[in-house]
Amino acid sequence: MNARRAGIPDVAIAGGGMVGAACALALAKRGFEVALLETREPAPWRAEEPEDLRVIALAPSSAKLLDELCVWREIETARVSPYRCMRVWDAASGAELRFDAAREGRAQLGWIVENRLVAWALWNALDAARVRRVCPAQVESFTQREDRVVLELHGGEVLSAALLVIADGAGSRLREAAGIAVRGRDYRQRAVVAHVATERAHAATAWQRFTHEGPIALLPLRDGRSSIVWSLPGARARAVLALDDAAFAAAVGIASDFRLGRIVETTPRASFPLKLQLARTYASGRCVLLGDAAHAVHPLAGQGANLGLRDVAELASVLGDARDAHRDFAAPHVLQRYARRRRSEDTLDALAFDALERTFSWQAPPWIALRGLGLLAVNAMTPLKRRLSAHAAGRAGI
């Protein structure tokens, strides 16, 4: 049956966050008829309001995708901060790893961007792309048939599509309903986030120090402040959140080795739990997983959102190529092509981040010495550093 002649959209996407909305735009650009289902609109972004505490280190591959979706110019001119250098060091050994965009012939390594800004820009672009927004909408259940997926929405409405894209987050109910299991581990940590003003300028540099409690990152903001992401054991995170501003500023200064001097001002704080989670497969029948529904990783490398946007680019490519070849784009064997490619790459990245977290948590003197030697060796190997940087940028030599 031809889905469009029967009044059935090509694709239904459950989840209108950053990754789900980007997927809707990418598929609409490839000529698909898309319905995007979301329980509520994202919080509006306004320039006069304080910066969102949740930020992402946007890689060049992600900026390229957003540019192709015609939203990057709006985001870039609103409020982003390019970072040109990255300094990573080990508190225990003192060894340091440095990355410099200029030495790689690039203007920047990436951009620090507010989550809410990216999500809002993508959401606002949906109407112009003729994406059907169904909001508020909550999928209660779905049934897979030979040629479609039938979704039952809260309130009794029924919607059918040739393909269901599940992008409803790490705790996805729909992933469970599709019979897809996950594996991973709870880090028993929380990421404490805030924006801070420092004595010294951040110099368009992303700073990250690995301590015995967990990594702390200071990410450059456009107004000269830094956004901190501090991973801590649960009890310690709760204690840090309860500190008054002066005590919190002092704790951040100590944890960051005062690389930017004293912390002179801080915003209110927030936190979120950390875990490693990987879906056993990214596709089941006429359903595919995208973004956090497929993978959740430690924030120490700042790659979570970038992995989700790479999922989007791969899915749009696989589905578009199938349709251009006049094949059933939602056939299980087509979806498995996407699933194999992205799950393989996401798994390698997730396990690499997990290995880093484990390695820097070891505090026995022999491990500290070995870790320090390893960092020094990597820092001295320019070709290896370039490969690591290219990988973080999206592999494609952007």
Residue 200, token pair as written in the block: 């010294």
Q: What is the pLDDT, as a whole number, of residue 398? A: 41
Predicted confidence band of residue 132 (pLDDT cuts 50, 70, 90): very high
Q: Which of 209, 375, 228, 354 is nearest to 296 (CA)?
A: 354
Predicted confidence band of residue 250 (pLDDT cuts 50, 70, 90): very high
Q: What is the pLDDT, as a whole number, of residue 397? A: 41
Predicted confidence band of residue 396 (pLDDT cuts 50, 70, 90): very low
List the end-to-end C-alpha distance of the chain, in Å, as a whole number. 41
Contacts of 220 (CB under 8 A, 6+ apart): 81, 83, 112, 202, 203, 204, 205, 206, 226, 227
pLDDT tens track for 3-52: 444 457 899 999 999 999 999 999 999 999 999 999 999 989 999 999 99
Q: Which of 30, 36, 122 is nearest to 314 (CA)?
A: 30
For residue 367, is pLDDT > 80?
A: no
- Domain boundaries in the chain? 11-183+275-393, 188-274
pLDDT tens track for 34-45: 999 999 999 899
Helices (H), 265-331: 304-324
Q: How far apart are CA 86 and CA 236, in angstroms?
A: 27
Mean pLDDT within 227-256: 97
Q: What is the pLDDT, as a whole number, of residue 220? A: 97
Mean pLDDT within 258-265: 97
- The fold of 11-183+275-393 is FAD/NAD(P)-binding domain (3.50.50)
Q: How far apart are CA 338 and CA 346, in angstroms?
A: 12
For residue 365, is pLDDT > 90?
A: no
CATH 3.30.9.10 for the 188-274 domain, yes or no:
yes
Residue with the two structure tokens 């008054």: 244
- Would you give the DSSP letter of residue 218? E
- Would you give the DSSP letter of residue 262? -
Q: Evaluate whether 39 touches 138 at the Cβ level (below 8 Å).
A: yes
Predicted confidence band of residue 301 (pLDDT cuts 50, 70, 90): low
Q: Which of 362, 357, 57 is nearest to 207 (CA)?
A: 57
Predicted confidence band of residue 354 (pLDDT cuts 50, 70, 90): confident
Amino acid in position 32: F
